[in-house]
Chains A and B, each alone.
Chain A
Amino acid sequence: MNKLSIRELSLYYEKHQALKKISLDVESNEILAVIGPASSGKSSLLRAINRLYEIDYARITGEILLDDKNIFDIPISELRRRIGLIFATPVVLPGSVYKNIAYGPKLHRRLKKSELDELVCDALKAGNLWDEVADRLDDSASRLSGGQQQRLCIARTLAMQPEVIMMDEPCSGLDPISTAKIEATMLELKKDYTFILVTNNTKQAARISDRTAFLYLGELIELDKTQKLFTSPADMKTDDYIRGRFG
């Protein structure tokens, strides 16, 4: 079953067209990797799906369906709760570890202190961070290391009980060990969530994704099973990119 269906999606910043008639489906419980060189529209695609493009004063044409329902028919805060977004640079909000996790859930519903405590604990455990911060919940989140901050951002998204998790180059600033931890987290969570992973690291896409989409200058060049796309791509451009000939 398709979790997300994108039909003829175009996105414009003023006069610049960042996405050109993209159509693709995201299946439930898969990790879909999106690769492509800089300014190929990878981030714009994510920002279109959760309607974050609106704060950039961009506009879109085409259709995006979440569980066969148009995203514009879903209240925006509900949409953004169901589709979480993790940014390239981990940005923790000022305040404690606990407050960072609790921020999202508190926006959406009233919770008792005990419920919130449990939610924070579960989210941190699911984000593979609990063991490292269990006794530091009231410490400032900005004192965590870069890798821990990124896992905190993942836990913060998990705390909202989303259905789809979009990640925009989540490991670009991290060391190999932190990267491995995050990849392990994603593979564990795959059974409950659907992932869209934008990455500049083609090896990462090959390692953990089920299918891979290749974007180039705002167009979808190719989308196929990861195994197939990396061994025998149909398009020359894809072949050139994954072999590192450009981009």
Chain B
Amino acid sequence: MTFRIGPRTSQIIAYITLLVMTAITVIVLFFIIFYILKNGIGQLTLEFLTDRTRDMGREGGILPSILGTLFITIFAILIATPLGVGSAVYLVEYTKGGFIRRIISFGADCLAGVPSIIFGLFGFIFFVITMNLGWSILSGGLTLAVMILPTIIRTSEEAIKAVPYTYREISYSLGGGKLDTIVRVVLPSALPGILTGVILGIGRAVGETAAVIFTAGSSLGLPTSIFSSTRTLAVHFYILAREGISMPKAYGTAAVLIIIILAINFIAYRLMHRFIARYY
């Protein structure tokens, strides 16, 4: 005896299954945010945000870590963005989609899948020891730049490939050279896509622990130059929680980290929409 499900029933089952899947994703996200904020929001005072860290993090604020996180992330983005966008432009506009492009794309994909602790070890051996940069914002930023490079290359590559070929034809037919075309037509059109890659990169860099603990160290002093060792928010949270120093301060740190990431995403999306509204 065969048991059949009618087309109407299967539609309903599919609808409910997909709805539940979406709901689970959203609920998990909101639960994490809610849980961290609930435990950490009580810690968020002006003093916590603007004071130096004292007694290994049991007392005082997290200003050094906020600054360290910002400096390392900005440094990583400043290095990785031009490199990544430049590589993507080269791949799309200057290689005829052949062997070289496939090899480099494959390499970038592999690099994107390497665990961050491997990048941390690489950065430790190469930047910290071999190049003698020590535990510093410089070493940490360079390591993170290498880590987020593949993301930026791949998203920029897709964004540049998506620019209609006719735009290039128009530019050439108006007498534009290759560089004019890339700078004035292709890149502005691809900018929203490129920005998405940069935002993803920022997200990875801000929240990174393993890659920076080996390269930027865990100093609690206020950073004074790019050669200062520093402790990022994620590392600070990790140490506070792992060594049982202070759970309330750990949640406070996590809350700040989450708020920063949300704020970056929010601002980036606003910028992107404003840009799109103006140009399309």
A interface list, Cβ under 8 A from B: 50, 52, 55, 76-81, 84-85, 87, 89, 91, 93-95, 103-104, 107-108, 140, 142, 156-157, 160
A107→B280 CA distance, assembly (Å)? 22
Q: Can you name the residue of chain B whose Cβ is closest to the Cβ of A46?
A: B173
B interface list, Cβ under 8 A from A: 164, 166-177, 180, 184-185, 188-189, 278-280
Contact status B166-A89, CB under 8 Å: yes
Chain B residues within 8 Å of A80, by CB:
172-175
Q: A95-B279, A140-B279 are in contact. Are A77 and B169 (CB under 8 A)?
A: no
Contact status B168-A87, CB under 8 Å: no
Contact status A81-B167, CB under 8 Å: no
| Interchain CB contact (< 8 A) of A103 among B166, B169, B184, B189 | B184
Contact status A107-B175, CB under 8 Å: yes
Report the minimum CB–CB distance from A87 to chain B (whole Å): 7
Chain B residues within 8 Å of A107, by CB:
174-176, 180
Number of A-B contacts (CB under 8 A): 63
| Interchain CB contact (< 8 A) of B174 among A89, A95, A103 | A103
- The residue among B166, B174, B180 with the most chain A CB atoms within 10 A of its own CB is B174
Q: A77-B177, A107-B176, A160-B175 are in contact. Are A91 and B170 (CB under 8 A)?
A: yes
The 5 A-B residue pairs whose C-beta atoms are closest, nearest first, are A80-B175, A77-B175, A104-B174, A85-B173, A81-B175
Chain A residues within 8 Å of B174, by CB:
80-81, 84, 103-104, 107, 156-157, 160
**What would 20 A/B residue contacts be, using CB atoms closer than 8 Å?**
A52-B169, A52-B173, A55-B168, A76-B175, A77-B175, A77-B177, A79-B175, A81-B175, A84-B173, A85-B173, A91-B167, A93-B171, A93-B185, A94-B188, A103-B174, A103-B176, A103-B184, A104-B174, A107-B175, A156-B174
Chain B residues within 8 Å of A104, by CB:
174-175
Q: Can you name the residue of chain B whose Cβ is closest to the Cβ of A157?
A: B174
- The residue among B171, B172, B185 with the most chain A CB atoms within 10 A of its own CB is B172
Report the minimum CB–CB distance from A223 to chain B (whole Å): 25
A220→B166 CA distance, assembly (Å)? 28
Q: Can you name the residue of chain B whose Cβ is closest to the Cβ of A100?
A: B170
Additional A-B contact list (16), CB under 8 Å, known A77-B177, A87-B166:
A52-B169, A52-B173, A55-B168, A55-B169, A76-B175, A77-B176, A81-B175, A84-B174, A87-B170, A91-B170, A94-B279, A103-B171, A103-B176, A107-B176, A140-B280, A160-B175
